[in-house]
């Protein structure tokens, strides 16, 4: 099965196969500049919907991961709880 990519104004995105909302890019975004860090979103017990992508930031071609959130509070919670391994 071919991987679908999504290109936005800022990123080229590769959806995680574990996303429940595979093609959704929500309004609130957090770029994690650690492409191989393990991000366990279900364990954070977020209130809204979220998606995880492998990402290439187009401004500087930096590889990493982009997490998008339906709710701003979830983005803040993620930034507070996430520590790269």
The pTM assigned to this predicted structure is 0.92
The alpha carbon dihedral of 32, 26, 3, 10 has a sign of: negative
Q: Residue 61 and residue 68: Cα distance in Å, rounded?
A: 19
Measure CA 81 to chain center. Answer: 15
Half-sphere exposure of 50 (CA within 13 A, CB side): 24
Band (3; pLDDT cuts 50, 70, 90): low
Domain boundaries, the chain: 6-81
Per-residue pLDDT tens over the stretch 4-52? 899 999 999 999 988 998 789 999 999 999 999 999 999 999 999 999 9
Q: Which residues pair with 29 in a beta bridge?
A: 68
């Amino acid at each position: 099965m071919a991987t679908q990519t999504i290109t936005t104004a800022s990123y080229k995105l590769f959806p995680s196969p574990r996303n429940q909302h595979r093609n959704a890019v929500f309004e609130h975004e957090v770029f994690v500049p650690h492409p191989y860090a393990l991000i366990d979103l279900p364990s954070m017990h977020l209130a809204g919907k979220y998606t995880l992508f492998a990402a290439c930031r187009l401004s500087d071609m930096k590889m990493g991961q982009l997490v998008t959130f339906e709710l701003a509070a979830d983005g803040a919670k993620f930034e507070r709880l996430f520590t790269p391994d």
